[in-house]
């Protein structure tokens, strides 16, 4: 068994986070944007676990549970808000949301 | 196997938060048990009781200086000051909100419960001595606020603004979380202070103080991401895009609450994090914060000039104020911290009062929020116009109002830290800001109202809030001493025991 060096996991987490940022900024569908934000959160989770492994302490793995719970709570509220808008507009496109502008 | 030591459970540090949590739950249960009633006066009464009790708990620990719950909660004057202010903000919000909800037939127990939960999250933010607690606190009040912004169930504007606020809020918390992960990677812990022994009880402060030669590169990177995450919450440029939309779409009492409470909570976290914990890294974070502060002051003030909706105007004004308060963060001295506390407390009162007036004037379903709607307000409703004038003067920083002393101490601290050029920009942008406050006043006093004046029903609670905030704004402007001294007493952050060396604050 050869072990993958932790550095690769960090690189993967960084890549996942960057994809999440770019996706959230580029895509226009509210639900897809939210999915990319979830990808960012999971990239951070991977980072926590990797640092936990590098440092040989379990703290980082415990922190992942906090993040999971918060992400779930956020999803409940966020999807409910998006759902209300989709019901009234039959579109989840953030560009259609145009009552407000500077 | 390391030996298991059960953590010491001391709840004094989180007593206010627990009180609010329990009151919110009781409120929801009681409302379900009692059921539909035409006048549910007991809801605001219960919310008031919870907030008063929480504020009393916070006041009872004034002067304490210790870490509780395994070093995750700081029990210090700083936290007490912020918690008492937040309890007051919560009370004013509940009272204005009650009249608003009754007028628009929106009253629900959820409103009060969510305000209580949001205040609990904000209080925890001020007391958090561990980054992950800070993150949980941030999410607690943010999630409550996402729902509160969408509370006008018939209004598409309210829901759209909630969606924008939610998407950008979630986006920003991911950055904050990334900062926490990198901090954990650099330090091996998310605790702000840590124990005496940096190996067995690691923390950011003990990491920085005991190993000055340590490789801080990763921590500096983490600091950058933490600034992004908190910058969203204080509405600093370039992370301000959500602010005008969320402020415009939210019910007016909630807009005031967001401006006063969110800003105070997020700034409390910033002050504790940057001016105390990461003080020795100031050479690294200062340039970034200066750039943000300057951009925030300029863009907030300039864009406010072109707004013609009073809620959007006050949103840009709140962005500009975030920039002014950031100058105190840059100063990173005792005067800066106490000045920021004083500024945030008085700004919160003025902005809550201003939004209470907006909430009354806007009328049913907030139909009247354009600046044109304020034409001739003085002739139709002199008391409202005079009160709004007072709040706007305080926001502009005119002498004899509390806002004047806020700006004075904050800018004075930055001058003391020899950042006079940042202060110069602050003074110039304050002058620009005075222009758009004046614009509203001209409408109210010098222009004729359009159409016939319709009677404005002013609830007793809203009138009371406007009176209280007006008296406080004048009171702290004439006699700022007591509040300033309280803010100075509160600047003691939790400090590691003297024998471990340096105090977190250099001043």
More confident residue, A96 or B261: B261
The CA–CA distances, whole Å, from A81 to A20, B5, B171, B235 equal 21, 44, 16, 22
Q: Does B60 fall in a domain?
A: yes
pLDDT at A95: 67
Q: Does B504 fall in a domain?
A: no
∠ CA A87-A89-A92, rounded to 5°: 85
Q: Which of A44, A78, A102 sits opposite B181 (nearest CB)?
A: A44
Domains in chain B: how many in total?
Answer: 1
The CA–CA distances, whole Å, from B14 to B86, B133, B134, B381, B384 equal 14, 12, 13, 44, 39
Q: Report the run of H or E that residue B68 belongs to, with start and end.
A: strand B66-68
How big is chain A by its Cα radius of gyration, in Å?
A: 17
Q: Is the pLDDT of residue B99 over 80?
A: yes
Q: Does B205 fall in a domain?
A: yes
- What is the nearest CA distance from B156 to chain A, expressed in angstroms? 8
More confident residue, B473 or B450: B473
Q: Does B187 fall in a domain?
A: yes
pLDDT at A99: 55
Determine the average pLDDT of the residues in B302-307. 91
∠ CA B391-B393-B397, rounded to 5°: 115
When pLDDT is cut at 50, 70 and 90, the band that residue B293 belongs to is very high
pLDDT at A102: 39
Distance between CA atoms of residues B272 and B203, nearest Å: 14
Torsion angle, CA of B85/B257/B464/B94, rounded to 10 degrees? Answer: -90
Determine the average pLDDT of the residues in B407-430. 94
Q: Report the run of H or E that residue B73 belongs to, with start and end.
A: strand B73-75
Determine the average pLDDT of the residues in B364-372. 83
- What is the nearest CA distance from A2 to chain B, expressed in angstroms? 24
Q: Find, in chain A, the residue whose alpha carbon is nearest to that of B312.
A: A102
Determine the average pLDDT of the residues in B71-91. 93
The CA–CA distances, whole Å, from B63 to B9, B344, B486, B488, B493 equal 20, 20, 11, 12, 11
Q: Does B304 fall in a domain?
A: yes
Can the peptide bond before residue B238 be classed as cis, meaning omega within 30 degrees of 0? yes
When pLDDT is cut at 50, 70 and 90, the band that residue B262 belongs to is very high
Q: Which domain holds residue B303?
A: 12-494
Distance between CA atoms of residues B333 and B336, nearest Å: 5
Distance between CA atoms of residues B208 and B222, nearest Å: 14
Q: Is the pLDDT of residue B498 over 50?
A: no
Interface contact B139, partner A, CB < 8 A: yes
Interface contact B164, partner A, CB < 8 A: yes
pLDDT at B495: 60
User: Residue B5: left (phi > 0), alpha (psi -120 to 50), or beta?
Assistant: beta
Q: What is the DSSP string of B423-487?
A: HHHHHHHHHHHHHHHHHHHHHHHHSPPSSSPPPPP--HHHHHHHHHHHHHHHHHHH--HHHHHHH
Q: Which structure tokens are listed for B30?
A: 């009681």
When pLDDT is cut at 50, 70 and 90, the band that residue B155 belongs to is confident
When pLDDT is cut at 50, 70 and 90, the band that residue B503 belongs to is very low
- What is the nearest CA distance from A89 to chain B, expressed in angstroms? 9
Q: Is the pLDDT of residue B325 over 80?
A: yes
More confident residue, A28 or B268: B268
Average pLDDT value for chain A:
88
Interface contact B161, partner A, CB < 8 A: yes
Interface contact B137, partner A, CB < 8 A: no
The CA–CA distances, whole Å, from B239 to B77, B431, B500 equal 30, 24, 38
Average pLDDT value for chain B:
89
Q: Which structure tokens are listed for A29?
A: 């569908």
When pLDDT is cut at 50, 70 and 90, the band that residue B211 belongs to is low
When pLDDT is cut at 50, 70 and 90, the band that residue B214 belongs to is low
Percent of chain B having pLDDT more than 90?
67
Separation of first and last alpha carbons in chain B? 44
Q: Which of B177, B189, B249 sits opposite A41 (nearest CB)?
A: B177
Using an 8 Å CB-CB cutoff, list chain A residues near B146. Answer: 77-78, 81
Q: Does B421 fall in a domain?
A: yes
Q: Does B501 fall in a domain?
A: no
Q: Which structure tokens are listed for B384?
A: 């409202």
Percent of chain B having pLDDT more than 70?
94
Q: Does B133 fall in a domain?
A: yes
Reported as a single tens digit per residue, the pLDDT across B432-448 is 999 999 999 999 998 88
CB B210 within 8 A of CB B199: no
Q: Find, in chain B, the residue whose alpha carbon is nearest to that of A69.
A: B136
Backbone angles phi, psi at B244, to 5 degrees: -60, -40
Interhelix angle B382-396/B460-478, rounded to 10 degrees, is 40
C-alpha of B299 from chain center: 20
Cβ count near B36 (within 10 Å): 6
DSSP structure class, residue B191: B
pLDDT at B456: 79
Reported as a single tens digit per residue, the pLDDT across B232-242 is 999 998 999 89
Separation of first and last alpha carbons in chain A? 58
Q: Which of B132, B170, B190 sits opposite A74 (nearest CB)?
A: B170
- Considering only the C-alpha atoms of chain B, give the largest distance between any 2 of them, rounded to a whole number of Å: 80
The CA–CA distances, whole Å, from B506 to B128, B266, B307, B378, B416 equal 22, 22, 42, 50, 13
Q: By mean pLDDT, which of B150-154, B323-327, B403-407 is the weakest?
A: B150-154
When pLDDT is cut at 50, 70 and 90, the band that residue B507 belongs to is very low
Note whether ipTM > 0.85 here. Answer: yes
Reported as a single tens digit per residue, the pLDDT across B347-366 is 999 999 999 999 999 888 88
Residue that has been written with the tokens 């304490």 in this structure? B64
């Amino acid at each position: 068994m050869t072990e993958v060096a932790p550095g690769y996991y960090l690189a993967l987490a960084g890549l996942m986070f960057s994809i999440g940022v770019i996706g959230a900024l580029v895509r226009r569908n509210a639900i897809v944007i939210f999915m990319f934000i979830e990808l960012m959160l999971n990239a951070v989770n991977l980072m926590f676990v990797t640092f936990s492994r590098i440092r040989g302490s379990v703290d980082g793995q415990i922190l992942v549970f906090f993040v999971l719970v918060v992400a779930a709570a956020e999803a409940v509220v966020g999807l409910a808000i998006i759902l209300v808008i989709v019901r009234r507009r039959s579109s989840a496109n953030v560009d259609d949301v145009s009552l407000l502008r500077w | 196997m390391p030996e298991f030591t059960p953590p010491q459970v001391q709840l004094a540090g989180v007593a206010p938060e627990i009180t609010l949590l329990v009151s919110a739950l009781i409120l929801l249960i009681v409302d379900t048990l009692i059921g539909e009633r035409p006048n549910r006066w007991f809801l605001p009464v219960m919310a008031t009781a919870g907030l008063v009790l929480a504020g009393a708990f916070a006041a009872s620990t004034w002067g304490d200086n210790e870490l509780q719950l395994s070093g995750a909660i700081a029990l210090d004057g700083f936290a007490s000051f912020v918690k008492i202010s937040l309890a007051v903000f919560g009370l004013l919000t509940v009272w204005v909100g009650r009249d608003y909800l009754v007028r628009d037939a929106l009253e629900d127990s959820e409103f009060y419960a969510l305000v209580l939960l949001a205040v609990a999250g904000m209080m925890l933010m001020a007391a958090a001595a561990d980054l992950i607690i800070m993150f949980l606190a941030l999410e607690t009040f943010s999630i409550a606020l996402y729902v509160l912004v969408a509370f006008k169930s018939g209004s598409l504007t309210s829901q759209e603004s909630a969606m924008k606020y939610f998407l950008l809020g979630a986006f920003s918390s991911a950055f904050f979380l990334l900062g926490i992960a990198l901090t954990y990677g650099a330090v091996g812990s998310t605790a702000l202070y840590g124990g005496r022994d940096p190996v067995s009880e690691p923390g950011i402060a003990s990491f920085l103080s005991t190993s000055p030669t340590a490789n801080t590169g990763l921590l500096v990177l983490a600091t950058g991401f933490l600034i992004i995450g908190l910058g969203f919450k204080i509405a600093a440029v370039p992370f301000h895009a959500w602010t005008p939309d969320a402020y415009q779409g939210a019910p007016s009492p909630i807009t005031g609450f967001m401006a006063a409470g969110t800003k105070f909570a997020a700034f409390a976290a910033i002050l504790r994090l940057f001016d105390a914990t990461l003080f020795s890294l100031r050479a690294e974070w200062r340039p970034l914060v200066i750039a943000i502060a300057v951009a925030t002051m300029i863009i907030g003030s300039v864009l406010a000039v072109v707004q013609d909706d009073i809620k959007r105007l006050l949103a840009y004004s709140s962005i500009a104020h975030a920039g002014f308060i950031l100058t105190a963060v840059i100063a990173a001295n005792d005067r800066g911290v106490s000045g920021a506390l004083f500024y945030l407390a008085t700004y919160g009162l003025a902005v809550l009062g201003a939004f209470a007036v907006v909430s009354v004037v806007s009328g049913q379903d907030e139909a009247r929020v354009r600046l044109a709607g304020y034409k001739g307000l003085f002739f139709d409703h002199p008391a409202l116009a005079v009160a709004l004038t007072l709040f706007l003067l305080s926001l502009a920083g005119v002498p004899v109002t509390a806002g004047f002393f806020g700006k004075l101490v904050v800018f004075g601290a930055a001058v003391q830290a020899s950042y006079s050029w940042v202060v110069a920009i602050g003074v110039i942008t304050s002058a620009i800001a005075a222009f758009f406050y004046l614009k509203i006043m001209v409408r109210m006093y010098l222009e004729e109202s359009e159409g016939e004046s319709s009677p404005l029903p002013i609830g007793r609670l809203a009138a009371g809030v406007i009176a209280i905030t007006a008296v406080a704004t004048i009171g702290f402007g004439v006699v700022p001493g007591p509040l300033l001294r309280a803010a100075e007493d509160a600047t003691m952050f939790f400090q590691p025991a003297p024998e471990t060396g340096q105090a977190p604050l250099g001043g």
